[in-house]
């Protein structure tokens, strides 16, 4: 049986939050991360992902992070693979954040979870390391690495590439639960990215392999 555990994906924004009491006018929130939405159409099925990352204007060290990840398969009426996460976040330093909230998937139901976010970014590069653990019996430990490269071709056009890798281990059973490698390549025009894409997944202790090859379109909504 598949173990549909995914971490916080993606993740296309750097947390900020260096406001100090008495200096709110000097040190403001450095960015307003957009709502990221991606649709992936492949030979095995469809995938839809939405990521929301926002900070409180009155207390910018605190924020809310949410991920919705849906993966229906062609020919199946009932969707077997989905993930919904919601977490409160706290910025320790720029690029270092802690998060706590819930994770919901069809195998384990709703579980409390905690995570850390280590991020680095500039106009061309974005990198993320995101360990996450369930706060429950037989917890799953997720380790996610994500790297984006977006070299500019013109004012409105740039290349887009993304490598995203995940490994999930179940502590109580000492077993591989799930791992994947996601690859994206294409172009970005203004706030719209599109191009070919592939998902490679391994499920369960036997690492049953599955692939999904197709194309993606993604948009940032401010």
Domain membership flag for residue 174: yes
Domain membership flag for residue 85: yes
| Tally of domains within the chain | 1
Q: What is the pLDDT of residues 119-177, one digit of tens each?
A: 898 989 988 888 999 999 889 898 888 899 999 999 899 999 999 888 989 887 889 98
Q: What is the pLDDT of residues 22-75, one digit of tens each?
A: 444 333 344 567 888 999 999 999 999 898 888 898 998 999 988 888 989 999
- Residue 53 φ/ψ, nearest 5 degrees: -140, 105
- Residue 219 φ/ψ, nearest 5 degrees: -140, 145
The domain spanning residue 55 has which CATH number?
A: 2.40.160.40
Domain membership flag for residue 66: yes
Domain membership flag for residue 53: yes
Domain membership flag for residue 91: yes
DSSP string, 173-190: TTEEEEEEEEEEEEEEET
Max distance between CA atoms of the chain, in angstroms, equals: 59
- The pTM assigned to this predicted structure is 0.78
Domain membership flag for residue 22: no
Range of the domain at 148: 35-221
Domain membership flag for residue 127: yes
Helices (runs of H) and strands (runs of E) counted in the chain:
0, 12
What pLDDT, on the 0 to 100 scale, is given for residue 67?
83
Domain membership flag for residue 58: yes
């Amino acid at each position: 049986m598949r173990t549909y555990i995914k971490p916080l994906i993606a993740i296309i924004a750097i947390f900020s939050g260096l406001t100090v009491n008495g200096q709110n006018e000097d040190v403001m929130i450095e960015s307003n991360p957009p709502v990221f939405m991606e649709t992936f159409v492949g030979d095995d099925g469809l995938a839809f992902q939405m990521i929301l990352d926002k900070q409180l204007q009155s207390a910018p060290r605190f924020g809310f992070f949410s991920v919705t990840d849906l993966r229906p398969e062609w020919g199946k009426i009932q969707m077997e693979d989905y993930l919904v996460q919601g977490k409160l976040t706290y910025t320790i330093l720029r690029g270092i954040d802690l998060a706590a909230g819930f994770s919901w998937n069809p195998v384990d139901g709703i579980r409390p979870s905690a995570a850390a976010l280590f991020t680095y970014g500039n106009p061309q590069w974005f990198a993320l390391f995101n360990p996450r653990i369930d706060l429950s019996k037989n917890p799953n430990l997720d380790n996610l690495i994500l790297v984006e490269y977006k070299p500019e071709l013109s004012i409105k056009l740039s290349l887009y590439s993304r490598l995203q890798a995940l490994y999930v281990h179940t502590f109580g059973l000492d077993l591989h639960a799930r791992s994947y490698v996601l690859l994206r390549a294409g172009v970005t025009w203004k706030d719209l990215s599109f191009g070919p894409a592939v998902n490679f997944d391994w499920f369960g202790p036997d690492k049953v392999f599955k692939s999904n090859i197709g194309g993606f379109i993604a948009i940032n909504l401010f």
